[in-house]
Homo-oligomer: A and B are copies of this chain.
Amino acid sequence: MSAGQIDILVSEVGPRDGLQNVKRVMPTAIKHRWIAALAAAGLREIEVGSFVSPKLLPQMADTDEVAREARKIDGLTVLALAPNVKGAERGIAAGVHKLNFPVSASRAHSMANIRMTPEEAVEQVRQACQLRNAPPVEVGISTAFGCTIEGEVSEDWVMQLAAKLAAAGATSVGLSDSTGMANPAQVSRVLEHLAPRFPNTEWTLHTHDTRAMAIPNILAAMEMGVSHLDASIGGLGGCPFAPGASGNVCTEDLVHCLDAMGIETGIDLDALIETSKRVQEIVGRVLPGQIVKAGKWTRRYPLPDGVRERIPARA
């Protein structure tokens, strides 16, 4: 893994957000190898799973073991999702470096997703932050840009939630476009309002490419100073509401775009592309990522037959 200076931290969420939208359960040994390959490609932070009830998400039942194994990888920040104090306790026991709590801005989404009100979820964050040996707690504000059930989510309410979360002890707050509804103008506007009010909070952006706006939203957030981005290899995942729609922004497509723009992520794009191809084989379907199909922008092709001899020298 490269230890050089980076401009943008790309945090891989495939083993959590990607996989939780895939029905088939991935064997634990394959998860280990996958996470090791991601880390070897230069990913410095990986969300390895979710400490939820195995009854709800059987794909995540082995998160304790996956996290313990990932902890052995030198230099890797191991992150896992916990929806409540019980999950946080499992995370602490497994030795994760960071916990990610989902707190929905939408009440309906909150109840549907974690069966708690937003206020109850904030209270879980507060209690988790006070646990003995608690690691830093990041919060992703789900449906921060709108909810497919409730509709518009008020910026004022997102602001209030962010304040409650900071007070509860969260070290960083992610704006999560869980439903793929955000647009670049909105991302700029929301961050322009929010970020200056919380100078001590690190803002992150979690995007879904449901409506082809993930990379535009990311570039808008980067212009507002956000330098921590979630992504999922291959674009693995999906949206439970929109069958056939894309999942999280695709890690290698994002890294490719940043690379081409001269923005340093510390990630070896070729190794990442190879890993994405293997993930595609493992899950057994074509993933939305485009770089795996098209190759990098530096890819070259030979001249078609019989053309070279017809090219005259430049006039």
Contacts and interface: CB of A to CB of B under 8 A. Distances in A.
Interface of A: 107-108, 111-112, 115, 117, 119, 146, 148-149, 151, 180-181, 183-186, 209-213, 215-216, 219, 239, 241-246, 250, 253, 256-257, 260-262, 289-291, 293-297, 299-304, 307-308, 310-312, 314-315
Given A108-B303, A112-B303, A211-B256, A290 B216 contact: no
Q: List the 7 closest A-B pairs by CB distance, nearest first.
A: A183-B260, A245-B294, A185-B261, A212-B253, A242-B294, A244-B293, A181-B297
Contact of A212 (B210, B215, B242): B215
A291 B212 contact: yes
Tell me the number of copies of this protein: 2
If over half of A's interface residues share one DSSP class (helix, strand or loop), that class is named, otherwise mixed; here it is loop
A122 to B, nearest CB: 10
26 contacts: A107-B311, A107-B314, A108-B303, A108-B307, A111-B307, A111-B311, A148-B301, A149-B303, A151-B300, A180-B297, A183-B260, A183-B261, A184-B257, A185-B260, A186-B260, A211-B253, A211-B290, A212-B289, A212-B291, A213-B260, A216-B219, A239-B294, A242-B293, A242-B295, A244-B293, A246-B290
